[in-house]
């Protein structure tokens, strides 16, 4: 049996999710639920600016997250439209 990861949202990510349309929110929540079983799915990409962060696509939106393997924890850091989600990512 494979390990199950816990998923937590930062306060910033929670606010960003709450501002989105309900249909987009549901798609993002489903995508984050999949991360509990496979935190680094084949579609996930490592960010070049911050190598400890990963991203998954959900339509035109991106979910930026970190994986703590020893703690079995996925932390959702940022959620946003692909055009602006990466702005200021160096300052996280």
- For CA atoms 26, 30, 33, 38, the dihedral sign is negative
Q: What is the mean pLDDT of residues 20-37?
A: 96
Res 1: pLDDT: 44
Quick check: 10 and 76 in contact, CB under 8 A?
yes
pTM above 0.85, yes or no: yes
Question: In this predicted model, what pLDDT tens digit does every residue of 48-81 receive, in sequence order?
Answer: 888 899 999 999 999 999 999 889 999 999 999 9
Domains, the chain, with CATH or none: 6-85 (3.30.2310.20)
Distance of CA 48 to the CA centre of its chain: 15
* Distance from C-alpha of 46 to C-alpha of 15, rounded to nearest angstrom: 23
């Amino acid at each position: 049996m494979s390990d199950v990861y816990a998923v937590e949202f930062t306060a910033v990510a929670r606010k960003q999710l709450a501002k989105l349309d309900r249909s987009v929110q549901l798609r993002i929540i489903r995508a984050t639920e999949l991360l509990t079983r496979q935190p680094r799915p084949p579609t996930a990409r490592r960010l070049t600016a911050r190598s400890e962060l990963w991203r998954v696509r959900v339509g035109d939106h991106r979910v930026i997250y970190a994986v703590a393997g020893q703690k079995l924890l996925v932390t959702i850091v940022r959620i946003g439209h692909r055009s602006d989600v990466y702005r200021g990512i160096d300052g996280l």
